[in-house]
Structure 1
Amino acid sequence: MHVTADALQPAIDNWAEQYPDTFSPSALVGQNRATSALHQALSIAGRYAHGFLVTPAGLRTYDVLQELQQLHTWDFAEKYDWVYLANPGSASEPRCINLPCGKASAFLTDLWTLFETPVANRQELLTALRDNYPTERVHDYLATVAEKNFEDLPGSEMATIIVQHEENQAVTLCDRVTETNLFGSIRLQSVEGTISSDLHLIEAGALLKANGGVLAIDAEELLSQPGLWRKLKYILRTSQFHWPQPGEANIAAFYRPEPVPVHIKVLLLGERDIYGQLRELDRDFDNLFPYLADFSGHYPLSQFPLAPYFDYLAYVQREAAVLPLNRNAYPLVFKFASRLSDYQTELSLDTIALMQLLRESSAIAAAHGCNDIQGEHVQQVLQQRKYRDGYIADLSRRSILEGQVYIATDGQVVGQVNGLTVVTAGGSEFGEPSRITATVHYGDGDIIDIDRKSELSGNIHTKGVMILSAYIANVFARSEAMSLSATIVFEQSYHEVDGDSASLAELCCLLSALAEAPIEQGLAITGAVDQFGRVQAIGAVNEKIEGYFSLCQARGLTGHQGVIIPAANLSQLNLEPEVIEAVKAGQYHIYAVNHVTEALELLTQSDQKKLYARIEQRLDELQHTDRVPNWWRRLLGR
């Protein structure tokens, strides 16, 4: 199928026409699946109801959590201030009490007043303390110290506040995970040569600060610290936080504050790979973390209306602190977002990438004295990026133009085709053609992959060659063995070749050699095949098309050049404007195929049935030819 210029261009202009009158900036646009899972997790109490958030690249986790806590709160949240108090019964085992949020300082002031008051006159104060601070732990402690004075308290300190909530923060984020940051610590002090600890040396971590609410933890940071994951699991299972002994083993001082009861909802943040590894390697993980909140990196317009995406862009603009976007800039921003997602009908939710684009565009707009970001400013940024990132691609293309790497873009050759590959080098990714050749000779039907023989073939590429071998055997060797063998190779390739995206090109190259049918060198091809010859989708289709276009453009477009791609990749086409213009002018062509026979007809400009008949005739002639070697004939004088 010949792909028209209209099919290459997403309806970006129509999208921009849906510009709304007002915006409601939101980081959660398109995240219905994830927010639904979080809503379920936050509506459940208990030790075995925590969640894992899959966070894609570019997601600003803090912004998401901030917005989430405005929409969804933990139904069973119950936060307190936590205070450690001197224990009259043991200097090394201070007592912990919980107080209503924001009441810790006031309680200590009232407690100080209690100790200053003679025991005989305390009854009214005790009653007021019990009424003002109605928690069981406070009442128990007051019963213990009701008749105690300052002299009865061990040490020189009465109390220390370890957690005090000045404002009700629903979600606490711990993204720099260390044992101290997460669990807190008890430090040591040296007084006149004696190593000891005291109340003011107890320091709470994120776990205790979030106690009674929701704690979000970076999973990769957590798992990179030995022992922290096991310690967290123990706390979640027992709902008790026990302080570790302070100091190292050789200088440890016995100091054991009363354990703190823990009532918390934990959300782990990380990539899907981490989630998969935890499920596979830790038998407790599924029990403790049954809720998966899978945040998406794309916004599919086939499922959602466009209007909310304007709200998402408004959020990106707000966080990037840039000039406002002019309406004529939206089509280019949409194209950029669509290109990031690899689909025409999907827009990227990579917040960081979009912020970078808008900040660069805003800087250019400001330099030109503009009050908003125009389309030309965004276009200039995209051109600058292409220039910055194109050095390696230019070097590679120059080697072809100078003849150091041989790639033909016109003429016809038997058993030679231009495959399309993607090169990743020095942080740059670009498409370029690769010459594939095939030769046939008398043999037993084997297809020899020279790259594999020379150990330059990856496992997936080897699989692709085996599949195309199976296709040829299925078509031409069902009833008897083939008398022809073949060799195939990526010419001038000195690194490992992997992936199956060249298997369609290799198969067409082999069929060309078998049928002795020349291939149009102006056409390059990419695609994977199955054993029945069906063409399957491949990756990086835009980079491959543009890479070959750049080479043909540098040599001069003839109107006979183009690419053949899988029809399954049509929805991913999102090409540069110059490529679309060349297609529109008939100077460059894009063909989409579903089967190898369609690709073969385009490459050879011949009818597939006639080509296959020619191959079968050639095989049949060889099958019935006298197979006595020529050198033996000469020896016998025959």
Structure 2
Amino acid sequence: MRVAANHLQPPIHEWAQQRPASVNPNPLIGQRRALAAIEQTMRIGGRYAHGYMVTTPGLRVIDVLEELQQRHQWVHFERFDWLYLANPATASEPLCVNVPAGTARNVLDGMMKLFETKPEERTELLEKLQSDYPTERFQRYLQLVKDKTFEDLPGSELATVIVQSDAEKNDFVLCDRVTDASLFGSIRLQSVGGTISSELHLIQPGAILKANGGVLAIDAEELLSQPGLWRKLKYILRTSFFHWPQPGEANIAAYYQPEPVPIHLKVLLLGDRSIYGQLRELDRDFDNLFPYLADFSAYYSLTQDNLVPYFDYLAYVEREAATLPLAAGALPLILKESSRLSDYQTELSLDTIALMQLLREAAAIARQQQQEVISEDAVLAVLQQRQQREGYIAELSRRQILEGQVYIATDGEVVGQVNGLTVVTIGGSEFGEPTRITATVHYGDGDIIDIDRKSELSGSIHTKGVMILSAYIANVFARSEEMRLSATIVFEQSYYEVDGDSASLAELCCLLSALAEAPIAQGLAITGAVDQFGAVQAIGAVNEKITGHFELCQARDLDGKQGVIIPKANMGQLNLEPHVIAAVEAGKYAIYAIDDVADALALLTGEKQEQLYARIEKRLAELQHCEPEQPWYRRIW
């Protein structure tokens, strides 16, 4: 099937017309699955009810957490201020006390007044402190010191506030730079008169204590890259107590052991899916501690959701980019680039950072041109500049073909030769280009020799693809008796490892061409995977492959006979550049979508599959009843 020009990119102009008059910036558009998981996580309390958020490239975690905070409060949220107070029994073991959130400074003022008042005159003050700050730990401490004076307290300090909270504000505490000190806190040391010691003011809280009573979000990759931190975190979550480590180095004798802090919080680990998989596989406690998975999506599916909410997401991107307003005429190009990032016509990207970069680059060009909005021309200029910046290696590779250093034919017909389509990745650059595949046949036992595999230039997936096409040929031509023809196949002028199965259709057509002695049109290039029954299957990077072949043909002048053959399953991924679409629309270049090897053979050779296979069968039948001709040196003996 020849693909019409209107199917070569998503309907971006139709999409742009659906933008509503008013929008509400929202970073959580398209995340219903993840939001449902977060909502469930926030309903549950206890030690075994934490969650893992699968974050995607380009997701701005801070913005997501702020939005989640407004929507989903942890129902077991309970904030306190936490203090360490001097222990009358020993200076090296201060006592941990919690008081209602926001009252720590008032508590310290009350405690100072208490100790400044004579013990026999403290009754009224004690009753007021007990009434104003009715927490069990503080009540217990008041009973402990109700008859004590400053002189009865060891050390030089009465108290230190380690955490001050807001009872009304349930912030997500984010720990994205994870170290032992930033997550768990630390106790510093001081040297006084040659003696190493620690005191109350040297206790430094970490993110766990700052989030206590609320929600703590931790970067999982950072956490796991620091030896020992994961085990310490697990211990705290299992026991609900935070124990301070001994301060200083192991060889410094300075005993200082504050009372453990009771921990009551919700933990969300943030990371990619591979880390989640490793934790589930390698740690038997992980599933118990983190049973809830919030899987954030990188794409907005138009098959599952209406397009209109996506404009709220774009409004959020515009707000965070803080650039010039986006003109209505530029919106189709933004949507086209968003679809290109997703690789599907029915999906749009949720890569916030990539879209912000696009808007900021376009705004810079617009300002340079003294425009007050981001115009269509400004966005187009950005996209062209990116192609220019990233296209150097592709141009060098294409120049080798144009100068004849690498032989690729784009006209004429040749038996046993076809142009496949590959993607080349070199030094961070990725581009598509055609590659010449050739096949020869000779008398033998029916085996197919892959020269790339023999020379150890074939990856495992490519090897699998060759074995599948071998199975197809055997299934068609050698069901009842052995084939008397063998074949060799190779990627010509390929000096690096070849991998992937996207060339298996091209290799099969090349082999069948050699077996039937049917010439293949060199103006057509082909890509696709094939199964054992000849069905054509989808491949990756279809747009890059088409563009690579088109650029070569355009440099040699388009004659209307050139084009590419792709799997029909890849039509939903087409998102080509305007100049390629224009050439297709003008009939100077063709794109064909197929789903069976028979369609590919008809396009490449101009003959029906039945005709080609009949010629191959005839050739094989002739070989079955005759011996191969002897070499000349044997005939003269």
Q: How high is the TM-score relative to the length of structure 1?
A: 0.99
**Alpha-carbon separation, structure 2, partners of 1:202 and 1:308:** 48
Seen in structure 2, the aligned counterparts of structure 1 residues 276 and 423 have a Cα distance that, compared at 3 Å, is: same
Look up the match of 1:103.
103
Task: Write out per-residue CA displacement over residues 238-276 of structure 1, whole angstroms, 9 at most, x where no aligned residue.
Answer: 101000011111114111100000001000000000001
Task: Write out per-residue CA displacement over residues 409-462 of structure 1, whole angstroms, 9 at most, x where no aligned residue.
Answer: 000000101000001112111100010001111111110110111111111111
Look up the match of 2:148.
148
SS of the aligned residue for 2:284 comes to coil
1:589 aligns with 2:594: no
Look up the match of 1:70.
70
Query: How many residue pairs end up in the alignment?
Result: 636
Assess if the C-alpha contact under 8 Å between 2:130 and 2:139 holds in 1: yes
Look up the match of 1:282.
283
Shifted more, 492-501 versus 364-373: the winner is 364-373
Deviation at 1:168, TM superposition (A): 2.1
**Alpha-carbon separation, structure 1, partners of 2:364 and 2:250:** 56
**Alpha-carbon separation, structure 2, partners of 1:509 and 1:64:** 52
Look up the match of 2:45.
45
Look up the match of 1:383.
384
Assess if the C-alpha contact under 8 Å between 2:527 and 2:565 holds in 1: yes
Assess if the C-alpha contact under 8 Å between 1:534 and 1:595 holds in 2: yes
Assess if the C-alpha contact under 8 Å between 2:58 and 2:354 holds in 1: yes
Assess if the C-alpha contact under 8 Å between 2:77 and 2:170 holds in 1: no
**Alpha-carbon separation, structure 2, partners of 1:32 and 1:528:** 34
Look up the match of 1:405.
406
Look up the match of 1:419.
420
SS of the aligned residue for 1:592 comes to strand
Assess if the C-alpha contact under 8 Å between 2:221 and 2:271 holds in 1: yes
**Alpha-carbon separation, structure 2, partners of 1:155 and 1:279:** 47
Look up the match of 1:396.
397
**Alpha-carbon separation, structure 2, partners of 1:631 and 1:327:** 78
Code of the residue aligned with 1:143 in structure 2: it is Q
Assess if the C-alpha contact under 8 Å between 1:16 and 1:331 holds in 2: yes
Look up the match of 1:12.
12
Deviation at 1:45, TM superposition (A): 0.4
Look up the match of 1:123.
123
**Alpha-carbon separation, structure 2, partners of 1:248 and 1:10:** 62
Look up the match of 2:535.
534
Deviation at 1:633, TM superposition (A): 5.1
Code of the residue aligned with 2:568 in structure 1: it is A
Task: Write out per-residue CA displacement over residues 44-94 of structure 1, whole angstroms, 9 at most, x where no aligned residue.
Answer: 001111100000100001100010000001010111111000000111110
SS of the aligned residue for 1:42 comes to helix
Deviation at 1:371, TM superposition (A): 1.4
**Alpha-carbon separation, structure 1, partners of 2:347 and 2:226:** 38
Deviation at 1:536, TM superposition (A): 0.6
Deviation at 1:126, TM superposition (A): 0.5
**Alpha-carbon separation, structure 2, partners of 1:50 and 1:302:** 32
SS of the aligned residue for 2:43 comes to coil
1:309 aligns with 2:289: no
Assess if the C-alpha contact under 8 Å between 1:529 and 1:535 holds in 2: yes
Look up the match of 2:84.
84
SS of the aligned residue for 1:75 comes to coil
**Alpha-carbon separation, structure 2, partners of 1:606 and 1:495:** 34
Deviation at 1:632, TM superposition (A): 7.3
Look up the match of 2:27.
27
Assess if the C-alpha contact under 8 Å between 2:241 and 2:260 holds in 1: yes
Assess if the C-alpha contact under 8 Å between 1:162 and 1:204 holds in 2: yes
1:615 aligns with 2:616: yes
Deviation at 1:343, TM superposition (A): 0.6
Deviation at 1:634, TM superposition (A): 1.0
**Alpha-carbon separation, structure 2, partners of 1:162 and 1:175:** 21
Alignment of 1:540-559 (within 5 A): 540-559=541-560
Code of the residue aligned with 1:94 in structure 2: it is P
Code of the residue aligned with 1:148 in structure 2: it is K
Deviation at 1:607, TM superposition (A): 1.2
Code of the residue aligned with 1:229 in structure 2: it is W
Assess if the C-alpha contact under 8 Å between 1:564 and 1:590 holds in 2: yes
**Alpha-carbon separation, structure 2, partners of 1:631 and 1:546:** 50
Deviation at 1:566, TM superposition (A): 0.5
Look up the match of 2:137.
137
Look up the match of 2:179.
178
Assess if the C-alpha contact under 8 Å between 1:438 and 1:486 holds in 2: yes
Assess if the C-alpha contact under 8 Å between 2:483 and 2:620 holds in 1: yes
Deviation at 1:214, TM superposition (A): 0.4
Assess if the C-alpha contact under 8 Å between 1:246 and 1:252 holds in 2: no
**Alpha-carbon separation, structure 1, partners of 2:325 and 2:276:** 39
Look up the match of 2:504.
503
Look up the match of 1:249.
250
Deviation at 1:503, TM superposition (A): 0.6
SS of the aligned residue for 1:63 comes to helix
Look up the match of 1:208.
209
Task: Write out per-residue CA displacement over residues 394-421 of structure 1, whole angstroms, 9 at most, x where no aligned residue.
Answer: 0000000000000000000001010000
SS of the aligned residue for 1:423 comes to strand
Task: Write out per-residue CA displacement over residues 334-388 of structure 1, whole angstroms, 9 at most, x where no aligned residue.
Answer: 0000000001111100000000000011111112222111111111111111111
SS of the aligned residue for 1:112 comes to helix
Deviation at 1:169, TM superposition (A): 4.0
How large is the Cα RMSD of the aligned pairs?
1.0
SS of the aligned residue for 2:191 comes to strand
1:189 aligns with 2:190: yes
1:366 aligns with 2:367: yes
**Alpha-carbon separation, structure 1, partners of 2:517 and 2:629:** 24
**Alpha-carbon separation, structure 2, partners of 1:616 and 1:632:** 31
Look up the match of 2:158.
158
SS of the aligned residue for 1:303 comes to coil
Code of the residue aligned with 1:146 in structure 2: it is K
Code of the residue aligned with 1:152 in structure 2: it is D
Look up the match of 1:93.
93
Seen in structure 2, the aligned counterparts of structure 1 residues 84 and 447 have a Cα distance that, compared at 3 Å, is: same
Assess if the C-alpha contact under 8 Å between 2:215 and 2:268 holds in 1: yes
**Alpha-carbon separation, structure 1, partners of 2:632 and 2:187:** 91
**Alpha-carbon separation, structure 1, partners of 2:484 and 2:318:** 67
Deviation at 1:631, TM superposition (A): 4.8
Task: Write out per-residue CA displacement over residues 301-352 of structure 1, whole angstroms, 9 at most, x where no aligned residue.
Answer: 1111111111111111111101111111110000000000001111100000
Assess if the C-alpha contact under 8 Å between 2:443 and 2:628 holds in 1: no
Code of the residue aligned with 1:433 in structure 2: it is P
Task: Write out per-residue CA displacement over residues 564-599 of structure 1, whole angstroms, 9 at most, x where no aligned residue.
Answer: 000000000000011111110100000011011111
Alignment of 1:318-333 (within 5 A): 318-333=319-334
Assess if the C-alpha contact under 8 Å between 1:245 and 1:252 holds in 2: no
Code of the residue aligned with 2:415 in structure 1: it is V
Code of the residue aligned with 1:86 in structure 2: it is A
Code of the residue aligned with 1:421 in structure 2: it is T
**Alpha-carbon separation, structure 2, partners of 1:153 and 1:530:** 83
**Alpha-carbon separation, structure 1, partners of 2:597 and 2:386:** 37
**Alpha-carbon separation, structure 2, partners of 1:113 and 1:580:** 82
Assess if the C-alpha contact under 8 Å between 2:73 and 2:170 holds in 1: no
Code of the residue aligned with 1:375 in structure 2: it is E
Code of the residue aligned with 2:99 in structure 1: it is L
Instruction: Determine what percentage of the aligned residue pairs are the same residue.
Output: 72
Code of the residue aligned with 2:247 in structure 1: it is P
Alignment of 1:325-364 (within 5 A): 325-364=326-365
Code of the residue aligned with 2:364 in structure 1: it is A
Q: How high is the TM-score relative to the length of structure 2?
A: 0.99
Assess if the C-alpha contact under 8 Å between 1:48 and 1:289 holds in 2: yes
Deviation at 1:628, TM superposition (A): 6.5
**Alpha-carbon separation, structure 2, partners of 1:172 and 1:633:** 87
Look up the match of 1:435.
436
Unaligned stretches of 5+ residues in structure 2: none
Look up the match of 2:2.
2
Deviation at 1:627, TM superposition (A): 4.0
Assess if the C-alpha contact under 8 Å between 1:73 and 1:170 holds in 2: no
Look up the match of 2:239.
238
**Alpha-carbon separation, structure 1, partners of 2:176 and 2:406:** 49
